[in-house]
Structure 1
Amino acid sequence: MKISDILQPGAIVADLRADDKPKVLETLTDALLSVEKGIDRDEVIRVLKERERLGSTGIGDGVAIPHGKLKKIDHLMLSFGRSRGGVDFDSMDGRPAHLFFLLIAPEDSVGVHLKTLARISKLLKNIPAREKLMGAESTEEIHRIIADEEQNL
């Protein structure tokens, strides 16, 4: 499954203003809920914070992929945020995160959830892709860059 098929342009925050991890999770959850109706905001945030307590989803190189699973959904949900200034996300390399993908999956999904996390990680390990995303001017351009770069995965 393609990232660009899951990620709706309305769930992209091109200028993430959050200055700490909890605010990033809240802002990206709100972006997700702007396109996905009927989901409990507090439950999503609780699941994400619970996952972060197990270990940071800041994978380094300016990237974080907060994720979690919910019982009452039947498909993957994704939002994206870009922080030009960066946010301390307790990343493995100790550096701030700038690019965030928030992934919510159905509780019973294993394979598709892990494949999507791996696909996002692979996309963002590509330095030119990260640079393009950091330089994008709009949510539409961010979505197009993700779709274009995905063709090379």
Structure 2
Amino acid sequence: MTLGSLLKPEAVKVLGNVTSKKRLMRDLCDIAAGCYGIDTEEALSALQDRESIGPTGVGGGVALPHARIPSLEKVVGVFVRLERPVPFEAVDRQPVDLVFALFAPEDSGVHHLKALALVSRALRGAKVQAKLRANEDPVILHTILVGAEESQAA
């Protein structure tokens, strides 16, 4: 499993009009619907259910919302960089601007956890975060993300 296999280039976006966590979640699901054929309402409900267990804002302006979707066949992702950070109830109480959402099949088990760990490792570095925040081109953002995974392996 690689970030390149989880994240289609067209599932990487820069969003400027997001003003709330609720709107962010809707936008993530809309992108997932367009890229992977996931039902928007099903995905939104699953993300909200997961958030009710505990927020997925991991700190440093990064959030990793994730949910299981029965209709999916494999784990897929959506990445967004927000032009303006939004409150997300993160562990450090800081707003988020880098968000990588994962959607996994209901029975994905260990694959879901491996994907979450992979994304977490890729986004944890300050250098990677700075590069992501310094770029607005989705193609470049995708390249940075895939490159971050490769540099973690080295």
Normalising by structure 1, we get a TM-score of 0.95
Contact 2:18 2:84 in 1 (8 A): no
Q: Deviations over 1:76-117 (max 9, x none)?
A: 121011113201000000000110011000010111110111
Contact 1:10 1:34 in 2 (8 A): no
Q: Name the counterpart of 2:10.
A: 10
Q: Tell me the distance in 1 between the aligned counterparts of 2:70 and 2:143.
A: 31
Q: Name the counterpart of 1:125.
A: 124
Q: Name the counterpart of 1:82.
A: 81
Aligned sequence identity (%): 32
Greater share of helix residues, 1 or 2? 2
The residue type equivalent to 1:121 in the other structure is S
Q: Deviations over 1:6-37 (max 9, x none)?
A: 11121111234211111111101111111112
Q: Name the counterpart of 2:32.
A: 32
Coordinate RMSD, CA, aligned: 1.0
Contact 2:88 2:95 in 1 (8 A): yes
Q: Tell me the distance in 2 between the aligned counterparts of 1:110 and 1:61.
A: 27
Q: Which runs of 5+ in 1 are unaligned?
A: none
Q: Which runs of 5+ in 2 are unaligned?
A: none
Normalising by structure 2, we get a TM-score of 0.94
Q: Name the counterpart of 2:115.
A: 116
Moved over 6 A (4+): none
Q: Name the counterpart of 2:105.
A: 106
The residue type equivalent to 1:57 in the other structure is T
